Amino acid sequence: MIWSTILAVFIALTNTQLVSTQTKSPRAKPNLFDPVLSADAYAGHLKENERIVQLQPRLAASDADSSKICGYELSLHKHDDILAEATPSIPFTVELIDNQPVIQLKSTADPLDCEIKQTHRLFVRAYDCAPTEKRRYSERSTLTITVDDVNEYAPVFTHNNYLFKLHQDETCDASSCRVEAVDDDCANPDHRVCGYEIVTPNVPFAIDSNGSISITKHLDNSQYEFDVIAIDCFPASDNTRKVSQPARVTFKIIKTCQPNINDNAPSELIVQSDHIHLFDSVNVNTCSESCNVEDIVGTVELYSNGLDSGCNLQQCSSIDREYILLEKDSQATGMPSSKIMTFNGYNQALIVNHSQFSGHLNNEFTIQMWMKHTHDGNNNTNNEKEHIFCKSDEKLKNRHHAALFIQNNYLKLLIRKEPLSGKTSTKYPSEWIWKVPEINDNQWHSYKLFVHYPEKVDLYIDDRLVVPTKDSFRIVEDIPLSEIPGTQDTIFALGACWHARASRLVQHFHGQLSGLTIVQKEELQRSSNCVRDCHQYLNIPDVQKEGGVEFMSNVNRSMWILRTDNTASYEKLLKHLVYRNTFQPLGPHGKRTVTVNTRVKCAGEVHTYDLPTFTRQVAIIEPKIPTKIEIRSDTSYNVPEQVMNQGIYLYRNLSIYTNAIKRNQGDISDCSLRATPTLSNSEQLIIPNDENLDHTITKEGAVITGVGSIDAYQYLLRQIAYISKKPVTYVDRSFTLVCNGVYDRVITNEIRVRIHTEKQMAPPAPVAAARSNKFVVNNDDIDYNFIDVDDDIYPTKRSVSGKMIQ
């Protein structure tokens, strides 16, 4: 009994302990919900010299299970099924500091360099504190971290030394006296600097923000040397701007010689056959005492001044393969209307696939396109480049291999010579620059660039050749690109340019493009059909290309590029230059202009200088037929005495002829009638009045004046009458008539009328003039009953002089 009681008490105590133990250990809560991030996207900034990312908005997460967030995870992709990368390649990590997430560089990571990579695009997610096999994760949000520049690079000049040679009283311009520095900081994608400064005191020069040097005082010395520095655009951490190491600038003043081109020939040549040498006696003076010529490049241009040259540009396009980078409009020859690509100037661009176009350009190719550039008024001041296309390094560097772009008022074509075996300091034409107003008029224009690298590039706008001048065109030379490991691959972009160090497209184009096409030409010879179709052109016959001598024309041979390494060879080329005209007959009539622009580079100098433009006029003159006015009339009369008493008409049968084509070219200004011998008191000339012509009668004869037509003078001259009251006084009398024309001061032939009076026994009754005792008869009082010597009433005899003009 006692043992039963003890056993019951033991069981009761045991049950009480179990209940207490169960009360102290409740069941664990279930983990039902995923954490949720505070935002779908986060943007962070990190300076190159910092390690903690400043994030907006603040990174945070919550969990509906009321459990803590135990960490955050970074990845390169959004979805788990494509997470193939190793997380150690991400240089960032998320640490919980005082239970707050902080994104920072890994302790093993080196400081970041924005010149290598400026933007890091990642994804972030949060996870809770459950065991790994039961852990829940949030959705991934985007995380963009931008590395901000700290302005670590100072500007660097492109050359350590600059040498400029100026002739006395010559001025500097922006292209001939300019230094240049670049800045490699990634905050400065165009590598520009914001200012230059001359640090040498008391020199007669000034420098502007573009590096152009100008002369401030008259230069009296033969040489000047001074140092310049370049100033950074962006302040450093201490709020100061970095400056470059100084570059040395040397000016040499040449006082003894003025280089020029001259000859002893007339400035205007008259073309009388199908060819003529233009510069037979030319003399090229490059001032050899001060310049050891290394290179001479001349551009000889024929300006037809609107006269037909007989060339058909369309026949000059010989192509092998056409790369259409932007689609052509269906109406290929007209302004585009449907196939148009618009670029907004800040984020629209295309990268051309290598399978479509590798980016390789032959030495001869053609660029064709329609372009409408948007000009908002700021384009001319911000100095920004706007790339139509650009071929640049895919990795490591930002070098531009080839590009077509707009900068301010200039259209620029860049073609850098690819690396050569071994180092070389030889410079090649690398950039062709045209100043053309069409690029900024907000209108559609067609552009064609015919490239013959490195000799020349022809630019046609709206199928018209852009003629190079000193003010509107120049060529910049540079050494070949360097051979840098890892830069073999390139990217060809449209509407912008790829910068590998920034890992993004920059220098965007603003406007519209259509039909952008690159045509690679494999056949180097120009089309023979095109040459035959040009009836007016320049040519260099009987000269062979040889070492140091090159010459090349554009397709219609209106322009030639001559290049030699010495003055004598250049002069020889000019003397062989011929103007050809194969029109039948020779024409068209008018003047053409031939200009010679010469650029000289002296050995040891960086820059070139230009000789004064030499001009020659070439004229084809329309054959000029001299104007002639000829008088034809009877020249000899045998007149009975009674007829002389009544009076006779001197020039009743007179006719006036001319070969003038235009009516007014035959006009007459005056006529003179000379009496031999002089008139006596018994003799009289009678000339009717005319409202347009005046006349004066004297004893010597008569003068008729006033500009009048041939018909007017012919009518009046036929009315001139002669009366003699005493005809026997002079048996023989003559009257000489000559007239002057208005045009070319032409003088007519002389008509001399000889009158022989025959004695008659019974004189007839006198005429009115004879009855008057006056020397000059009032025409209103005269009865016009003069005898016409053509009548058969009296037996007069006459002879005829004068000849019909053909």
Least confident of 295-299, 662-666, 754-758, 774-778: 774-778
User: What per-residue confidence (pLDDT) applies to 528?
Assistant: 42
Q: Which residues does residue 634 pair with via DSSP β-bridges, in sequence order?
A: 800
Percent of all residues in the chain with a pLDDT value above 90, rounded to a whole number: 30
Beta-sheet pairing, 536-539 with 578-581: antiparallel
- Inter-residue contact 443 to 473 (CB < 8 Å): no
Residue 695 lies in a domain: yes
Q: Does residue 685 or residue 335 have the better pLDDT?
A: 685
For 577, the token pair is 């230059």
Return mean pLDDT, the chain.
Answer: 81
Amino acid symbol at 537: Y
pLDDT at 289 over 80: no
Domain of 779, in residue numbers: 629-801
**650 and 559 part of one domain:** no
Residue 364: half-sphere exposure toward Cβ, Cα within 13 Å: 14
Residues 570 and 458 in one domain: no
* CA separation for the pair 532, 608 (Å, rounded): 37
10 Å CB burial of residue 560 (0-12, 13-18, 19+) is buried
Query: What pLDDT digit, counting tens, does each position of 548-573 carry?
Result: 788 888 777 888 888 888 888 899 99
pLDDT value for 160: 92
* 121, 174: one domain: no
pLDDT of residue 801: 47
741-786 tens-digit pLDDT: 988 788 999 999 998 887 765 544 444 443 333 333 334 444 444 5
Give the Å distances, CA to CA, from 71 to 101, 102, 148, 601, 717. 8, 10, 27, 69, 126
Residue 680 amino acid letter:
S
The rounded distance, in Å, linking the Cα atoms of 739 and 646 is 28
- Helix (H) / strand (E) element for 39: namely none
| pLDDT above 70 (res 495) | yes
Domain count, the chain: 5
pLDDT at 66 over 80: no
| DSSP secondary structure letter of residue 5 | H
**Is the confidence at residue 8, as pLDDT, over 80?**
no
* Strands 36-37 and 504-506, sheet pairing: unpaired
Residues 503 and 396 in one domain: yes
Is residue 17 one of the residues assigned to a domain?
no
The predicted pLDDT at position 672 comes to 95
Count helices and strands in the chain by DSSP H and E runs: 6, 57
Mean pLDDT across the stretch 496-506?
89
Give the highest mean pLDDT range of 535-539, 601-605, 634-638, 719-723: 719-723
Contact 251, 606 (CB under 8 A): no
Tell whether 119 is covered by a domain. yes
343 and 443 part of one domain: yes
Beta-carbon contacts of residue 738 (< 8 Å; ≥ 6 apart) = 671, 672, 747, 748, 749, 750, 751
What pLDDT does 110 receive? 85
**pLDDT top residue among 589 and 52:** 52
Q: What is the per-residue pLDDT for 557?
A: 82
pLDDT winner (highest mean) among 77-86, 211-220, 304-313, 623-632: 211-220
Say whether both 634 and 581 belong to one domain. no
Q: Are strands 629-640 and 275-277 parallel, antiparallel or unpaired?
A: unpaired
* 559 and 423 part of one domain: no
- Residue found under tokens 């081109």: 261
C-alpha gyration radius of the chain:
49
Q: Which two tokens stand for residue 331?
A: 């109406």
2 falls within a domain:
no
Q: Who contacts 379 (Cβ-Cβ below 8 Å, separation ≥6)? A: 386, 406, 408, 440
Structure tokens at 785: 């009953």
* pLDDT score of 424: 65
| pLDDT of 140 higher than 90 | yes
Distance in angstroms (rounded) separating the CA atoms of residues 659 and 629:
7
Q: Examine the pLDDT at 29 and tell me if it is beyond 70.
A: no
Instruction: Work out the number of other CB atoms within 10 angstroms of the CB of residue 153.
Output: 19
Contact 741, 710 (CB under 8 A): no
Say if residue 127's pLDDT is above 60. yes
Q: What is the C-alpha to C-alpha distance for residues 729 and 742, in angstroms, rounded to an integer?
A: 39
Asked whether residue 148 carries a pLDDT value surpassing 90, the answer given is: no
Cα distances from 138 to residues 39, 60, 498, in angstroms, run 11, 11, 36
Range of lowest pLDDT (80-84, 468-472, 732-736):
80-84
The rounded distance, in Å, linking the Cα atoms of 621 and 358 is 54
How many whole angstroms separate alpha carbon 326 and alpha carbon 336? 12
Is the domain of 247 the same as that of 184?
yes
What span, in angstroms and rounded, lies between the C-alpha atoms of 419 and 401?
10
For the entire predicted model, the pTM comes to 0.35
For position 416, which CATH number holds?
A: 2.60.120.200
570 and 491 belong to one structural domain: no
**Does a structural domain hold residue 25?**
no
| Number of residues that make up the chain | 806
pLDDT at 86: 47
What pLDDT score does 25 carry?
Answer: 46
Higher pLDDT, 72 or 173: 72
**Residue 567 in contact with residue 286, Cβ under 8 Å?**
yes
Q: Which of 101, 124, 148 marks a domain boundary?
A: 148
Whether 13 is covered by a domain: the verdict is no
Of the three residues 254, 276, 292, the one that is the final residue of a domain is 254
Q: Which of 718, 720, 723, 702 is nearest to 774 (CA)?
A: 723
Residues 233, 237, 238, 240, Cα dihedral to 10° = -10
- Tell me how far apart the alpha carbons of residues 729 and 172 are, in angstroms, rounded to a whole number: 91
Which residues make Cβ contacts (< 8 Å) with residue 242, sequence separation at least 6?
151, 153, 154, 155, 231, 232, 236
User: What tokens were used for 559?
Assistant: 């322009």
pLDDT value for 82 = 55
Q: Is the pLDDT of residue 28 over 80?
A: no
Residues 674 and 796 in one domain: yes
Domain annotation covers residue 71 = yes
The phi-psi region of residue 647 (left if phi > 0; otherwise alpha if psi is between -120 and 50; otherwise beta) is left
If asked whether residues 337 and 477 sit together in one domain, one would say yes
Residues 80-126 have pLDDT tens digits of: 755 554 466 889 999 998 889 999 988 888 888 776 788 889 999 99
Contact 404, 555 (CB under 8 A): no
- The domain boundary, picked from 148, 180, 205, lies at 148
**675: nearest Cα among 752, 758, 772:** 752
- Do residues 457 and 432 make contact, with C-beta atoms less than 8 angstroms apart? yes
Statement to judge: residues 237 and 369 lie in one domain = no
* pLDDT exceeds 70 at position 4: no
Residue 162 predicted with pLDDT over 90? yes
Q: Is residue 23 part of a domain?
A: no
CA 595 to each of CA 239, 244, 404, 563: distance values in angstroms, whole numbers, following the listed order: 55, 43, 28, 16
Which residues have C-beta within 8 Å of that of residue 602, sequence separation ≥ 6? 165, 290, 291, 292, 293, 294
CATH code assigned at 218: 2.60.40.60
Cα–chain-centroid distance for residue 656?
A: 58
Instruction: Check which CATH number belongs to the domain holding 750 and give it.
Output: 2.60.40
Distance CA 277, CA 299 (A): 17
- Statement: residue 233 has pLDDT above 70: yes
**144: confidence class by pLDDT, cuts 50, 70, 90:** very high
